[in-house]
Amino acid sequence: MKLLKIPFLPLLFSIINLSCSSTKEVSEKTEEKTSPVAINGQLAVKNGAVVNASGEVVQLKGMSLFWSQWQPQFYNRKTIENLVEDWNIQLIRAAMAIEHEGYLENPKREKRKVEKVIEAAIDLGIYVIVDWHDHHAEDHLPQAKKFFSEIAQEYGKHPNLIYEVYNEPLNVSWSQVLKPYHEEVIAAIRQHDPNNIIVLGTPTWSQRVDLAAEDPVDGDNLAYTLHFYAGTHGQELRDLAEIAMKKGLALFVTEFGTTDANGDGPVYEQETADWMEFMDLHKLSWANWSVADKDESSAAFFPGTTPSEINRKENISTSGKVVRSYLMPVD
């Protein structure tokens, strides 16, 4: 102790701080190298499948945020960080509301929510689905083209982006209504982003992928939306998906639930397991509905849960626990 003089203390603290900073930098670099985007890079669609930069078929798994105007508290970095760290998500879906006091009435407010999610996803190295969460998008074509053009211009250089240009069309014609809509929005995106995947909504709440397979949209890196809720949709919908895939469509499950189609009711664990087996078999990427604390069984969290609390087991709902078990790596 007598040999350690006061003048050396600043040097000692500097060495300790330098060591801590170096350790932090190494940790951050290691995390960057092992992130989903660092591993897979630029995604593409080849031979009816989503593939990574090496041409290998890839299956991404993650969560979907709830309607942005009704659950805005989860549209932030803290939510995404906790889902990455404690839920092992590889992608996040930003479900930007269009109607019901959404983007049509509050474009700047809703767009900014999505931008926060995109920026967090880029920083954390995961993929992000930018979802035009609408049931009547053919009536809002100018607004959709403007929004996606701006997003592509701002963020399209990043391989993290996945565009979902129409959440769930209703019972409308594929060839006469949906295909022309998609072609125009695709053109608006491709002016600024020639590479990132665009996912196209299909008739009847994005279930009739077989109809889209009869008359697909021309273009590169296009996938088609398949949505299901385990309590409502079973083998019949899987059969339609099989038909579409056999005709060459790449499918992407941008939304699914463990419950009935209304988002409530029982949690169907066996039916969810059947769908998981199907998606694993065909390497279909998926996002679960939803990151929310709404008082309904499809919400991943109990009412009152905040973004900083979503990693606490006591706050995770039955559905959340089921889905999280499929997200976590197998020991």
* 157 Cβ neighbours under 8 A, 6+ residues apart: 193
> What is the DSSP annotation of 163-187?
EE--S---S--IIIIIHHHHHHHHH
DSSP three-state, residue 44: strand
Q: Cβ atoms within 10 A of the Cβ of 19, count?
A: 10
Report d(CA 299, CA 208) in Å as an integer: 25
168: annotated active-site residue: yes
In the set 255, 271, 309, 314, the catalytic residue is: 255
Cα Rg of the chain, angstroms: 21
Q: How many CA atoms lie within 13 A of 252 on its CB side?
A: 33
Joined together, the tokens standing for residue 257 give 């639930």
DSSP state of 75: S
Q: Among 110, 168, 271, 296, which one carries the catalytic annotation? A: 168
| Burial zone of 108 (CB within 10 Å; 0-12 exposed, 13-18 middle, 19+ buried) | exposed
CA 292 to CA 75: how far, in whole Å? 10
Residue 26's H or E segment, with its range, is helix 9-34
Q: Is 125 helix (H, G, I), strand (E, B) or coil?
A: coil
Residues recognised as catalytic? 168, 255
